[in-house]
Structure 1
Amino acid sequence: MDNIQVSVILGSDSDVDLGKAAIKSLRSFDIACELKVISAHRSPDILVDYLKTSKDRGCKAYIAIAGMAAHLAGAVAAHSSSPVLGVPTAHSLNGLDAILSTLQMPAGVPVATFAAGTAGATNAGIFAAQMLGVADNSMAEKMIDFKKELREKTIKKDQNLDRD
């Protein structure tokens, strides 16, 4: 198996679009990553085994995307010493159940929680790049370039705005 820097774990294949949004962000920074479906409820033993093997392959952070009871991010955080970025989905109750399940973690088991949906998945990938940039000058430069590009796009949108 290839080495990875960030693993994106989905609680269900119904969340694949969000997983792909996170992967797209990660790959835009040339971050080695992979996408997995592992349920905290249906296959907890597989999750624990995967966390061990991914750590051995160089994984530095996990993005956990899940809805409803959304225990995936907490389960990953409980079994890993690496940062966990939680992205709730909005499949039921407008995502409130998943947001609270991801956000309300006990002391000592932190999960950085992002917005529900595509924006949250995209931002989780960008945040992972920022974390990696702390110890990797090349990644830090990519983040600086990314921020400059955002600025330029905003300026261009302002210039092209129909003000009539």
Structure 2
Amino acid sequence: MKVAIFFGSISDKSIMKITAEVLKQFNINYKSYAISAHRLPNVLSTTIKQIESEGTDVIIAGAGLSAHLPGFISSQTILPVIGVPIHGHNSLGGMDALLSIVQMPKDVPVATVGINNSYNAALLAIHILAIKYQDIRKLLLKFRMKKKERLITEIKQHLLP
């Protein structure tokens, strides 16, 4: 059971680090790669083949600006790909990346989360893995129950007398 985390630039590392932190909470093995789909397409293609042969189950790919990475990866594999649009520090605020990832053509799907929301990308990957792995399923159910209990407690503390 593995997750591959890709990001198109070293500058995306701080956003994608959150993905790794969430996966660690669920004892999920992962590997990360910083490979530009535009600058190193052959290296990326080779890496995708490698992770498939290693038994990777899900890919999370974060990219900003034109955000070509998640779509390129999806075009090279049948593994589920979750795209994380990253704010490219331009006037578009990450909307360019979001639209690039979410508007994939037919037959090249990429599940897409909100801008800079690598936390939700990790949780979506965990939900996908929970279909196949009972230990992850149990941890996910426990995690969701704790979140629900915390929310109920918080709401009760803020009710009017």
* TM-score range for the pair, normalised by the shorter chain length: over 0.9
Tell me by how many angstroms 1:155 deviates.
2.3
2:122 matched to 1:101?
Answer: no
For residues 115-145 of structure 1, the C-alpha deviation after alignment (integer angstroms, 9 at most, x for no partner) is 001xx20011011011011111111111100
> Could you tell which deviates more after superposition, 67-76 or 92-101?
92-101
Aligned residues: 159
Structure 1 residues 107 and 160, CA, compared in 2 at 3 Å: closer, same or farther? same
Q: Which amino acid aligns with 2:129?
A: L
2:109 matched to 1:110?
Answer: yes
Distance between the aligned counterparts of 1:155 and 1:116, measured in 2?
Answer: 28
SS of equivalent residue, structure 1 residue 50: helix
TM-score normalised by length of structure 1: 0.92
Tell me by how many angstroms 1:19 deviates.
1.0
Tell me by how many angstroms 1:149 deviates.
1.1
1:73 to 70, 74, 84: 70
Alignment of 1:1-164 (within 5 A): 5-91=2-88, 92=90, 93-117=92-116, 120-161=117-158
Q: Percent identity?
A: 33
SS of equivalent residue, structure 2 residue 61: strand
Gaps of 5+ in 2: none
Query: Which consecutive aligned stretches of 4+ in structure 1 deviate over 6 angstroms post-superposition?
Result: none
Alpha carbons 1:19, 1:35 under 8 Å: kept: no
> Could you tell which deviates more after superposition, 67-76 or 25-34?
25-34
Alpha carbons 1:88, 1:98 under 8 Å: kept: yes
- After superposition, the CA RMSD in angstroms is 1.5
Tell me by how many angstroms 1:162 deviates.
8.4
Gaps of 5+ in 1: none
Distance between the aligned counterparts of 2:44 and 2:119, measured in 1?
Answer: 23
Tell me by how many angstroms 1:157 deviates.
2.1
Q: Which amino acid aligns with 1:72?
A: L
Alpha carbons 1:8, 1:64 under 8 Å: kept: yes
